[in-house]
Structure 1
Amino acid sequence: MSIKIVWHHEALGKQTRQTVSVLNAELILTKVGDVIVDASWQAAARSERDQSALAKQVEAYLLNPDRNPLEVQLLRQGTEYYQRIWQALLGIPFGDVISYSALADKMDSGPRAVAQACKNNPYAGIIPCHRVVAKSGVGGFMGQSQGEMILLKRRLLAYERSVAESAK
Protein backbone atom coordinates (compact mmCIF):
# COMPACT_ATOMS: atom_id res chain seq x y z
CA MET A 1 0.00 0.00 0.00
CA SER A 2 1.49 3.28 -1.04
CA ILE A 3 0.02 6.26 0.72
CA LYS A 4 1.73 9.39 1.87
CA ILE A 5 -0.13 11.61 4.29
CA VAL A 6 0.93 15.17 4.88
CA TRP A 7 -0.57 16.17 8.22
CA HIS A 8 -1.68 19.76 8.78
CA HIS A 9 -2.47 21.44 12.09
CA GLU A 10 -4.92 23.85 10.49
CA ALA A 11 -6.93 24.19 7.33
CA LEU A 12 -7.71 27.56 5.80
CA GLY A 13 -9.90 28.51 2.89
CA LYS A 14 -13.23 27.68 1.41
CA GLN A 15 -14.93 24.39 2.24
CA THR A 16 -15.64 22.16 -0.76
CA ARG A 17 -16.82 18.60 -1.26
CA GLN A 18 -15.72 16.07 -3.79
CA THR A 19 -17.35 12.71 -4.40
CA VAL A 20 -15.61 9.46 -5.24
CA SER A 21 -17.93 6.69 -6.45
CA VAL A 22 -16.65 3.19 -5.94
CA LEU A 23 -18.24 -0.22 -5.26
CA ASN A 24 -21.75 1.23 -5.44
CA ALA A 25 -20.97 3.68 -2.65
CA GLU A 26 -19.73 7.23 -2.32
CA LEU A 27 -16.76 8.54 -0.47
CA ILE A 28 -17.40 12.19 0.34
CA LEU A 29 -14.16 14.16 0.65
CA THR A 30 -14.65 17.42 2.55
CA LYS A 31 -11.82 19.86 2.04
CA VAL A 32 -10.95 23.23 3.49
CA GLY A 33 -8.59 24.78 1.01
CA ASP A 34 -6.30 21.93 -0.08
CA VAL A 35 -6.61 19.99 3.17
CA ILE A 36 -9.06 17.10 3.56
CA VAL A 37 -10.92 17.46 6.86
CA ASP A 38 -13.26 14.47 6.45
CA ALA A 39 -13.52 11.40 4.20
CA SER A 40 -16.72 9.52 5.06
CA TRP A 41 -18.66 6.86 3.23
CA GLN A 42 -22.27 6.99 2.10
CA ALA A 43 -23.81 3.67 1.15
CA ALA A 44 -25.59 4.53 -2.10
CA ALA A 45 -23.81 5.92 -5.13
CA ARG A 46 -25.28 8.70 -7.26
CA SER A 47 -25.30 8.39 -11.02
CA GLU A 48 -22.97 11.31 -11.75
CA ARG A 49 -19.25 11.08 -11.04
CA ASP A 50 -16.83 13.71 -9.78
CA GLN A 51 -14.03 13.97 -12.32
CA SER A 52 -11.67 16.16 -10.27
CA ALA A 53 -8.02 15.09 -10.24
CA LEU A 54 -8.21 14.30 -6.53
CA ALA A 55 -11.36 12.19 -6.96
CA LYS A 56 -9.70 10.19 -9.75
CA GLN A 57 -6.54 9.63 -7.68
CA VAL A 58 -8.50 8.51 -4.61
CA GLU A 59 -10.69 6.19 -6.71
CA ALA A 60 -7.64 4.56 -8.31
CA TYR A 61 -6.01 4.18 -4.90
CA LEU A 62 -9.10 2.60 -3.35
CA LEU A 63 -9.43 0.11 -6.19
CA ASN A 64 -5.77 -0.92 -6.18
CA PRO A 65 -3.42 0.89 -3.77
CA ASP A 66 -0.41 -1.22 -4.71
CA ARG A 67 -0.52 0.14 -8.26
CA ASN A 68 -1.85 3.63 -7.54
CA PRO A 69 0.07 5.53 -4.87
CA LEU A 70 -1.74 8.41 -3.21
CA GLU A 71 -0.54 11.55 -1.48
CA VAL A 72 -3.12 13.50 0.49
CA GLN A 73 -3.16 16.40 2.91
CA LEU A 74 -5.19 15.69 6.02
CA LEU A 75 -6.07 17.83 9.01
CA ARG A 76 -4.57 16.36 12.18
CA GLN A 77 -7.50 15.51 14.42
CA GLY A 78 -8.28 13.37 17.42
CA THR A 79 -6.34 12.47 20.51
CA GLU A 80 -2.78 11.18 20.45
CA TYR A 81 -4.19 7.71 21.16
CA TYR A 82 -6.55 7.89 18.20
CA GLN A 83 -3.73 9.10 15.97
CA ARG A 84 -1.60 6.11 17.05
CA ILE A 85 -4.41 3.70 16.20
CA TRP A 86 -5.12 5.40 12.87
CA GLN A 87 -1.41 5.17 12.00
CA ALA A 88 -1.51 1.44 12.80
CA LEU A 89 -4.53 1.02 10.50
CA LEU A 90 -2.43 2.29 7.61
CA GLY A 91 -0.13 -0.70 8.14
CA ILE A 92 -2.86 -3.31 7.57
CA PRO A 93 -2.23 -4.66 4.07
CA PHE A 94 -4.87 -4.35 1.35
CA GLY A 95 -6.94 -7.55 1.41
CA ASP A 96 -6.06 -8.40 5.03
CA VAL A 97 -8.00 -7.95 8.25
CA ILE A 98 -7.08 -7.86 11.93
CA SER A 99 -9.35 -8.25 14.93
CA TYR A 100 -9.96 -5.43 17.37
CA SER A 101 -8.36 -7.55 20.11
CA ALA A 102 -5.27 -8.45 18.04
CA LEU A 103 -4.72 -4.79 17.16
CA ALA A 104 -5.28 -3.86 20.80
CA ASP A 105 -2.60 -6.36 21.85
CA LYS A 106 -0.14 -4.83 19.36
CA MET A 107 -0.95 -1.34 20.62
CA ASP A 108 -0.89 -2.29 24.33
CA SER A 109 -4.51 -1.24 24.62
CA GLY A 110 -8.00 -2.71 24.92
CA PRO A 111 -10.32 -3.85 22.11
CA ARG A 112 -13.09 -1.40 23.05
CA ALA A 113 -10.66 1.52 22.92
CA VAL A 114 -9.47 0.37 19.49
CA ALA A 115 -13.09 0.05 18.33
CA GLN A 116 -13.81 3.58 19.58
CA ALA A 117 -10.79 4.93 17.68
CA CYS A 118 -12.04 3.20 14.52
CA LYS A 119 -15.53 4.60 15.07
CA ASN A 120 -14.14 8.13 15.42
CA ASN A 121 -11.85 7.93 12.38
CA PRO A 122 -12.71 11.04 10.32
CA TYR A 123 -10.94 9.53 7.30
CA ALA A 124 -12.70 6.17 7.03
CA GLY A 125 -12.32 6.21 3.25
CA ILE A 126 -8.57 6.80 3.41
CA ILE A 127 -7.43 5.30 6.73
CA PRO A 128 -8.77 1.73 6.43
CA CYS A 129 -10.71 1.13 9.66
CA HIS A 130 -12.90 -1.33 7.72
CA ARG A 131 -9.99 -3.82 7.91
CA VAL A 132 -10.52 -4.21 11.66
CA VAL A 133 -13.11 -6.86 12.50
CA ALA A 134 -14.56 -8.59 15.53
CA LYS A 135 -13.32 -12.03 16.62
CA SER A 136 -16.67 -13.48 15.59
CA GLY A 137 -17.98 -11.43 12.71
CA VAL A 138 -17.39 -8.27 10.80
CA GLY A 139 -17.82 -5.85 13.71
CA GLY A 140 -19.01 -2.28 13.24
CA PHE A 141 -18.32 0.37 10.65
CA MET A 142 -18.67 4.13 10.88
CA GLY A 143 -20.59 3.87 14.14
CA GLN A 144 -23.08 1.28 12.91
CA SER A 145 -23.38 -2.38 13.84
CA GLN A 146 -26.00 -3.25 11.21
CA GLY A 147 -27.50 -1.85 8.04
CA GLU A 148 -26.03 -0.21 4.95
CA MET A 149 -22.62 0.60 6.45
CA ILE A 150 -22.06 -3.01 7.47
CA LEU A 151 -23.02 -4.13 3.97
CA LEU A 152 -20.54 -1.59 2.60
CA LYS A 153 -17.82 -2.89 4.94
CA ARG A 154 -18.48 -6.41 3.69
CA ARG A 155 -18.28 -5.21 0.04
CA LEU A 156 -15.01 -3.38 0.70
CA LEU A 157 -13.47 -6.42 2.39
CA ALA A 158 -14.67 -8.85 -0.29
CA TYR A 159 -13.40 -6.60 -3.07
CA GLU A 160 -9.99 -6.15 -1.44
CA ARG A 161 -9.69 -9.88 -0.74
CA SER A 162 -10.50 -10.76 -4.38
CA VAL A 163 -7.97 -8.25 -5.76
CA ALA A 164 -5.27 -9.43 -3.33
CA GLU A 165 -5.91 -13.09 -4.15
CA SER A 166 -5.80 -12.51 -7.91
CA ALA A 167 -2.47 -10.69 -7.52
CA LYS A 168 -0.87 -13.78 -5.92
Structure 2
Amino acid sequence: MPEEIAVVHVDTPVGILEVAERDGAVVRVGWGRSRAPDETALLGEAVRQLHAYFDGALKSFDLPLKPAGSAFQRQVYDEMLAIPYGETRTYGEIAKRLSTHGQPIGQACGANPIPVIIPCHRILSVTGLGGYSGRGGHDTKIALLRLEGGYPFLV
Protein backbone atom coordinates (compact mmCIF):
# COMPACT_ATOMS: atom_id res chain seq x y z
CA MET A 1 0.00 0.00 0.00
CA PRO A 2 1.46 3.42 -0.94
CA GLU A 3 2.54 5.78 1.77
CA GLU A 4 0.32 8.70 2.65
CA ILE A 5 0.98 12.06 1.08
CA ALA A 6 3.06 14.41 3.24
CA VAL A 7 3.04 18.16 2.61
CA VAL A 8 5.06 21.22 3.52
CA HIS A 9 4.43 24.91 2.91
CA VAL A 10 6.98 27.36 1.54
CA ASP A 11 6.54 31.13 1.59
CA THR A 12 7.87 32.40 -1.76
CA PRO A 13 7.72 35.60 -3.82
CA VAL A 14 4.97 33.99 -5.93
CA GLY A 15 2.85 32.96 -2.94
CA ILE A 16 2.72 30.11 -0.49
CA LEU A 17 3.61 26.87 -2.23
CA GLU A 18 2.51 23.51 -0.93
CA VAL A 19 4.90 20.71 -1.86
CA ALA A 20 3.55 17.17 -1.61
CA GLU A 21 5.57 13.96 -1.27
CA ARG A 22 4.51 10.36 -1.69
CA ASP A 23 6.71 7.26 -1.62
CA GLY A 24 9.94 9.29 -1.46
CA ALA A 25 9.24 11.59 -4.42
CA VAL A 26 7.72 15.03 -4.96
CA VAL A 27 4.34 14.50 -6.62
CA ARG A 28 2.74 17.95 -6.52
CA VAL A 29 3.39 21.65 -6.04
CA GLY A 30 0.40 23.92 -5.63
CA TRP A 31 -0.51 27.30 -4.24
CA GLY A 32 -1.98 27.65 -0.76
CA ARG A 33 -2.37 25.28 2.13
CA SER A 34 -4.60 22.22 2.08
CA ARG A 35 -3.76 20.94 5.56
CA ALA A 36 -1.21 20.97 8.36
CA PRO A 37 2.40 20.43 7.25
CA ASP A 38 4.45 17.30 7.82
CA GLU A 39 8.17 16.88 8.38
CA THR A 40 10.18 14.56 6.17
CA ALA A 41 13.77 14.72 5.02
CA LEU A 42 12.69 15.10 1.38
CA LEU A 43 10.28 17.92 2.15
CA GLY A 44 12.97 19.67 4.20
CA GLU A 45 15.29 19.45 1.21
CA ALA A 46 12.55 20.71 -1.10
CA VAL A 47 12.07 23.75 1.15
CA ARG A 48 15.84 24.39 1.18
CA GLN A 49 16.08 24.13 -2.61
CA LEU A 50 13.03 26.33 -3.23
CA HIS A 51 14.42 29.04 -0.93
CA ALA A 52 17.78 28.82 -2.73
CA TYR A 53 16.03 29.03 -6.12
CA PHE A 54 14.07 32.13 -5.15
CA ASP A 55 17.23 33.65 -3.66
CA GLY A 56 18.92 33.18 -7.05
CA ALA A 57 21.45 30.68 -5.68
CA LEU A 58 20.02 27.49 -7.22
CA LYS A 59 19.82 26.98 -10.97
CA SER A 60 18.69 23.35 -11.08
CA PHE A 61 16.58 21.36 -8.65
CA ASP A 62 17.86 17.99 -7.49
CA LEU A 63 14.80 16.27 -6.08
CA PRO A 64 13.18 12.93 -6.88
CA LEU A 65 10.05 13.70 -8.89
CA LYS A 66 7.08 11.51 -9.77
CA PRO A 67 4.58 13.65 -11.66
CA ALA A 68 1.23 12.10 -12.49
CA GLY A 69 0.27 12.16 -16.13
CA SER A 70 0.08 10.23 -19.35
CA ALA A 71 3.21 8.94 -21.06
CA PHE A 72 3.01 11.93 -23.44
CA GLN A 73 2.66 14.42 -20.58
CA ARG A 74 5.68 12.90 -18.86
CA GLN A 75 7.67 13.31 -22.12
CA VAL A 76 6.74 17.00 -22.11
CA TYR A 77 7.76 17.28 -18.43
CA ASP A 78 11.13 15.74 -19.32
CA GLU A 79 11.54 18.31 -22.11
CA MET A 80 10.77 21.11 -19.64
CA LEU A 81 13.29 19.75 -17.16
CA ALA A 82 15.94 19.83 -19.91
CA ILE A 83 15.52 23.60 -20.44
CA PRO A 84 18.38 25.32 -18.61
CA TYR A 85 17.77 28.03 -16.04
CA GLY A 86 17.42 31.40 -17.73
CA GLU A 87 16.45 29.93 -21.09
CA THR A 88 13.10 29.42 -22.76
CA ARG A 89 11.60 27.31 -25.52
CA THR A 90 8.41 27.71 -27.50
CA TYR A 91 5.50 25.31 -27.60
CA GLY A 92 6.40 24.74 -31.25
CA GLU A 93 10.03 23.87 -30.50
CA ILE A 94 8.96 21.24 -27.97
CA ALA A 95 6.24 20.00 -30.35
CA LYS A 96 8.80 19.51 -33.12
CA ARG A 97 11.06 17.51 -30.79
CA LEU A 98 8.12 15.26 -29.86
CA SER A 99 6.64 15.07 -33.38
CA THR A 100 3.36 16.69 -32.45
CA HIS A 101 1.68 20.11 -32.48
CA GLY A 102 1.85 23.06 -30.10
CA GLN A 103 -1.63 22.64 -28.62
CA PRO A 104 -0.93 19.27 -26.95
CA ILE A 105 2.28 20.76 -25.54
CA GLY A 106 0.28 23.64 -24.06
CA GLN A 107 -2.22 21.20 -22.59
CA ALA A 108 0.58 19.17 -21.00
CA CYS A 109 2.10 22.37 -19.59
CA GLY A 110 -1.28 23.26 -18.09
CA ALA A 111 -1.51 19.80 -16.51
CA ASN A 112 1.98 20.00 -14.94
CA PRO A 113 1.47 18.91 -11.31
CA ILE A 114 4.89 20.19 -10.17
CA PRO A 115 5.19 23.79 -11.44
CA VAL A 116 8.30 25.83 -10.61
CA ILE A 117 10.35 22.65 -10.10
CA ILE A 118 9.25 21.29 -13.49
CA PRO A 119 9.63 24.67 -15.20
CA CYS A 120 6.55 25.06 -17.39
CA HIS A 121 7.09 28.82 -17.05
CA ARG A 122 10.01 28.44 -19.46
CA ILE A 123 7.67 27.46 -22.32
CA LEU A 124 6.51 30.45 -24.38
CA SER A 125 4.27 31.09 -27.35
CA VAL A 126 6.08 32.08 -30.53
CA THR A 127 4.33 35.46 -30.22
CA GLY A 128 4.68 36.07 -26.48
CA LEU A 129 4.20 34.58 -23.06
CA GLY A 130 1.65 31.89 -23.71
CA GLY A 131 -0.42 30.68 -20.79
CA TYR A 132 0.32 29.77 -17.20
CA SER A 133 -2.03 27.67 -15.09
CA GLY A 134 -0.43 28.41 -11.71
CA ARG A 135 -1.99 30.85 -9.27
CA GLY A 136 -1.52 34.37 -10.53
CA GLY A 137 -1.42 33.26 -14.18
CA HIS A 138 0.73 35.57 -16.31
CA ASP A 139 1.91 37.60 -13.31
CA THR A 140 3.44 34.47 -11.77
CA LYS A 141 4.97 33.37 -15.08
CA ILE A 142 6.50 36.83 -15.54
CA ALA A 143 7.86 36.81 -11.96
CA LEU A 144 9.55 33.43 -12.52
CA LEU A 145 10.99 34.47 -15.88
CA ARG A 146 12.28 37.73 -14.40
CA LEU A 147 13.89 35.83 -11.53
CA GLU A 148 15.76 33.71 -14.06
CA GLY A 149 16.42 36.51 -16.54
CA GLY A 150 14.94 34.19 -19.16
CA TYR A 151 12.82 36.57 -21.18
CA PRO A 152 14.80 39.68 -22.14
CA PHE A 153 11.73 41.86 -22.72
CA LEU A 154 10.71 41.41 -19.08
CA VAL A 155 14.03 42.20 -17.41
Q: TM-score scaled by structure 1?
A: 0.71
For structure 2, the 5+ residue unaligned runs are 33-38, 151-155
Q: What is the match of residue 149 of structure 1?
A: 137
- Number of paired residues? 141
Equivalents in 2 of 1:61, 1:35: separation in Å? Answer: 19
Whether contact under 8 Å (1:41, 1:125) holds in the other structure is: no
Residue 12 (1) aligns with residue 5 (2): no
- The Cα shift of 1:61 comes to 3.7
2:50 matched residue in structure 1: 58
Matched residue type, 2:50: V
The alignment yields a C-alpha RMSD, in angstroms, of 2.7
Structure 2 residue aligned with 1:137, among 114, 118, 128?
128
Q: Residues 2-151 of structure 1 correspond to what in structure 2 (within 5 A)?
A: 12-41=2-31, 52-62=44-54, 63-66=56-59, 70-142=61-133, 148-151=136-139
| Deviation at residue 106 of structure 1 after TM alignment | 2.0
For residue 136 of structure 1, report the CA deviation from its aligned partner.
1.6
Query: In 1, distance between residues paired with 2:2 and 2:63?
Result: 16
Distance 1:156 1:36 in 2: 20
- TM-score scaled to structure 2, two decimals? 0.77
Identity, in percent, stands at 24
Does structure 2 conserve the Cα–Cα contact (< 8 Å) formed by 1:65 and 1:94? no
Deviating beyond 4 angstroms after TM superposition, the runs of 4 or more aligned structure 1 residues are none
Structure 2 residue matching 1:75: 3-state secondary structure: coil
